Amino acid sequence: MANTELATTAQPSTFDRGTNTTYLGQTSEGSYIYSGQALQEFAIGEVPNGGYVLSIMFDSVLQLYSERYQVDPVALNCFFLRKTETTAIIIEIKDIKVNRKGYCVTQATIKQSKSSQPGQAPLQQLKDYHAADYVDKVLGVFTMGNMDNEEGASSDYDLPAPPNNGDRQLAPFKLIYMKELLELEVDAASLPDPERTKPMEVHQTIGFRDQRPVDFKSIPFWCDNFVSPPNLLGPVFDGPLWCATMQMEVQFKRKCPDGLKKVAASFVTHTLKNSRFDIDGWIWDNNGELLATTRHQCLCLPWERNTPKARL
């Protein structure tokens, strides 16, 4: 009997389309080279969201470790050296510490061509990559392990309560950017008011509108998607801000539950000094289990610094 149904191929989610990378091969020096692209859909103004950029890098690291014993991330520490552009990306990965079953440490660098143009297609072959033609944009150090085989003492102290535990009044909210991609509910007390100064803290739940599940790759993205806390200072600033990330750390505490579509998140700034500020953050699943913690160091800059002609 003839099959009259047309075969269909599931399309990747917008997030995966914007973060998937392709392995090109290994250089003569032993580096692993991956190719990808930063999309405008994930930009804040003209600059791709920092957590999104880390998820691109993370995709390559997770691919590399998918055939190793250390399949789970333990921590990432990343430094934003220059503004990433919405164009083709190269990810170069080098092993720093390799273990048979212990923790491993790997360095990953996002690079972009000195002559790249917006929307330029990613490289398809290793022979077309010439390191001298590229500039480093983001430097990352990843610690990898195996959570299924971790054991030892566990204890929590002085953790904040997750914002989805019923103590806060969360209401739907749309960010200025990526609003078609994300679903948010935010505590109204943590929304900016241009006439009033509020505590520098943000509490929310967030997920993809297309219902893409939460996984390790998306955690850096969730760690960097919120109204940056200094915006809560209201009249302290003369105009709109670009809160540029200088460095960002994520520590992974447990695996994401299967089918998880949304996370709860809290972000607090304790210190703003000479326009440089810190952010402490926590990411929970819908049962209140802590998935990850994060820490950022950022700069409060005039919005004009976000434009392509301005140098950070």
CB contact at 8 A, 277 and 268 = no
Residue type, 248: M
Give the predicted TM-score (pTM) of the model: 0.91
Gap between the Cα atoms of 39 and 221, Å rounded:
14
Gap between the Cα atoms of 271 and 148, Å rounded:
37
Residue with token string 């992974």: 252
3-class DSSP state of 293: strand
The Cβ of residue 98 has, within 10 Å, a number of other Cβ atoms equal to 11
Gap between the Cα atoms of 292 and 224, Å rounded:
12
Gap between the Cα atoms of 226 and 177, Å rounded:
10
> Strands 272-273, 290-302: parallel, antiparallel or unpaired by DSSP?
unpaired
How would DSSP label each residue in 105-129?
A: EEEEEEEEETT--TTPPPP--GGG-
Gap between the Cα atoms of 186 and 205, Å rounded:
7
Backbone angles phi, psi at 272, to 5 degrees: -120, 115
Domains of the chain: 14-147 (3.10.129.10), 170-306 (3.10.129.10)
CA distances from 158 to 128, 155, 200, 260, 269 (A): 52, 10, 19, 26, 17
pLDDT at res. 308: 56
The Cβ of residue 14 has, within 10 Å, a number of other Cβ atoms equal to 18
Q: What is the DSSP letter of 309?
A: T
Taking only the tens of pLDDT, the chain with its 312 residues reads 344 343 445 678 999 999 999 999 999 999 999 999 999 999 988 889 999 999 999 999 999 999 999 999 999 999 999 999 999 999 999 999 999 999 999 999 999 999 888 888 999 999 999 999 999 999 999 999 999 999 999 999 999 999 998 889 999 999 888 989 999 999 988 888 888 899 999 999 999 999 999 999 999 999 999 999 998 888 887 777 778 899 999 999 999 999 999 999 999 999 999 999 999 999 999 999 999 999 999 998 887 777 755 444
Integer-rounded Cα Rg, in Å, for the chain is 20
Gap between the Cα atoms of 222 and 73, Å rounded:
15
The Cβ of residue 84 has, within 10 Å, a number of other Cβ atoms equal to 21
Gap between the Cα atoms of 289 and 270, Å rounded:
24
Residue with token string 């969730």: 222
